[in-house]
Chain A
Amino acid sequence: MIGIQEFIQYTKGQSILEGFEPQDLERLAALAKEVHFKRDQIVFREGETHGRFYLIMDGSVVLEITAGGHPMLLQTLHGGEAMGWSSLVDSEGGAHFQARVISPVRALSFDGPSLRSTCESDPAFGYRMMKALLTLVTERLDASRMQLVDMYSNPGVARA
């Protein structure tokens, strides 16, 4: 748990928390724990049931997956972004990707089941939390679709 003033200072400008009421931030602060990760440290491994949701304050993390025996880097996450959101909707399922630190990270860590339980006991808070989560997931989905389109592949047009 961290103090509310500290929490507000840490999360200032984090777009994921826009739209939250002051009492929401107090709830989140009560569940938050400040954590640090060193370069190359694994935050969670593919398939691992880590049950944590993170708000990154500083530093960078890469989400990667092993394909054909080789790691493939899919996305980097930086200050102001979140990771481990699947822990809010499914505490049993393992992580879909591995998260590895590429520059030292300072983050707020939340216990996924506790946060979900808070959402269920206070539906108004839960709605705002899920709305924030949906915004995050939509952004990720848009980015994934753009990657899936493979728009930089051979364009098949003359002026190239």
Chain B
Amino acid sequence: MTVIAEPELLDSTALADPFRPQLARIASVTRETSDTVTISTELPATGSLPQFVPGQFSMLYAYGAGEVPISISGDPGNPDRLDYTIRSVGAVTTALITRKVGDYVAMRGPFGTSWPMEAAAGEDVLLVAGGIGLAPLRPVIYHILRHRSEYGRLVILYGARSPKELLFRKELSGWSKSPDTQVLTTVDYGEPSWRGYVGVVTKLFNFVSLRPERTITMMCGPEIMMRFGIRGLQGRKFPDDRIYLSMERNMKCAVGFCGHCQMGPYFICKDGPVFTYGQMRHWMGDLREL
């Protein structure tokens, strides 16, 4: 029986100076949807990009606007680039997505815990993503496809609001052709030309066959979606400690000093963002503002 580890903790405070940003140049910009772009960053010739593991995030600073935490969405096997998929939700993210190739952003990190790639080795992997939540899971997909023989079956369930808002559409199609990989997408509202599933992402559980005791689940998306997802998995006898979640709270310092992202006994930035459901069980759905 595989021993399930806590999400792998990387001590962010051990970074040389976690408050000191580095300048990163935008090497490419890819428009994903009407409000979401992926920027690919590189460091000027003298610098080397920090290594990251799937699940981690950086603090990105847009000059004149401010700083926000953004999950890394690129390939952990490509050390030359750090990719960020950013949805415009406010002043800072809007400033970031309007940056052009050759512009600079400031970057701190990477910070936080990783998805359980070691614990998932030899197991089937179920990824459940909603909306922008596919971005923090994309490094997991890259990693598994790069090390395909080390993992069992890969199932990717992805829900979005409408077909126009699906991220990484070409890649989704490519991933579905990978060996022993199943990709199902659903939208809340379909358009007449849409031939896929329509309905909530949790309904897709009905269309996959997985062994709960041999499957590691990684889930990222709106908290409401994750709560319903957990309920659906529990109904199918998936053990709580094999369900991993990426949590979201308003982060500022990213190293557990400021307390903005506290959730129960945890700082999402430092103890997370990846947690087991067992860790989060008592805190999800808590309506109190912390």
- Interface on A for B, CB 8 Å cutoff? 62, 64, 70-76, 78, 80, 102, 142-143, 146-147, 149-160
Contacts and interface: CB of A to CB of B under 8 A. Distances in A.
B64 interface: no
A152 B228 contact: no
Contacts of A64: 190
A73 B68 contact: no
Interface string B182-206: 0000101111101111111011001
Given A72-B190, A147-B189, A156 B89 contact: yes
Contact of A151 (B57, B90, B130, B186): B130
Contacts of B190: 62, 64, 72-74, 76
A157 B200 contact: no
B195 A102 contact: yes
A157 B132 CA distance: 12
A72 B228 CA distance: 24
A152 B132 CA distance: 8
Nearest to A67: B189
A153 B202 CA distance: 17
B197 A76 contact: yes
B93 A160 contact: yes
B248 A146 contact: no
Contacts of B71: 159
B140 to A, nearest CB: 17
A155 B249 CA distance: 11
Contacts of B132: 155, 160
Contact of A158 (B69, B197, B200): B69
**Which of B161, B200, B202, B221: most chain A Cβ within 10 A?**
B200
A153 B205 CA distance: 23
Contacts of B200: 143, 146-147
Given A62-B198, A76-B198, A143-B203, A152 B160 contact: yes
A160 B87 contact: yes
B161 A159 contact: no
A75 B199 CA distance: 5
Nearest to A143: B200
Contact of A159 (B35, B57, B198, B221): B57
B225 A146 contact: yes
B195 A146 contact: no
Interface in B109-166: 130-132, 159-161, 165
Contacts of B202: 146
Interface string B6-47: 000000000000000000000000000001000000000000
Interface string B41-81: 00000000000000001000000000011110000000000
